[in-house]
Amino acid sequence: GAGVSQSPSNKVTEKGKDVELRCDPISGHTALYWYRQSLGQGLEFLIYFQGNSAPDKSGLPSDRFSAERTGGSVSTLTIQRTQQEDSAVYLCASSKNGYGYTFGSGTRLTIV
Residue 71 near other proteins by CB under 8 A:
no
55 binds other proteins (CB under 8 A): yes
Answer whether 94's CB lies under 8 Å from 28's CB: no
35 binds other proteins (CB under 8 A): yes
Q: Which is nearer to other proteins, 80 or 102 (CB)?
A: 102
Q: Of the candidates 42, 63, 71, 84, which one interacts with other proteins according to CB under 8 A?
A: 42
- Nearest residue (CB) to other proteins, 19 versus 35: 35
Q: Is 76 in the site for other proteins (CB under 8 A)?
A: no
DSSP structure string for the chain: --S-EEE-SEEEE-TT--EEEEEE--TT--EEEEEEE-TT--EEEEEEEETTEEEE-TT--STTEEEEE-TTS-EEEEE-S--GGG-EEEEEEEEETTEEEEE---EEEEE-
Regarding 72 and contact with other proteins (CB under 8 A), the answer is: no
| Positions that interact with other proteins (CB under 8 A) | 31, 33, 35, 41-43, 45, 48, 50, 55-56, 59, 89, 91, 93, 98-103, 105-106
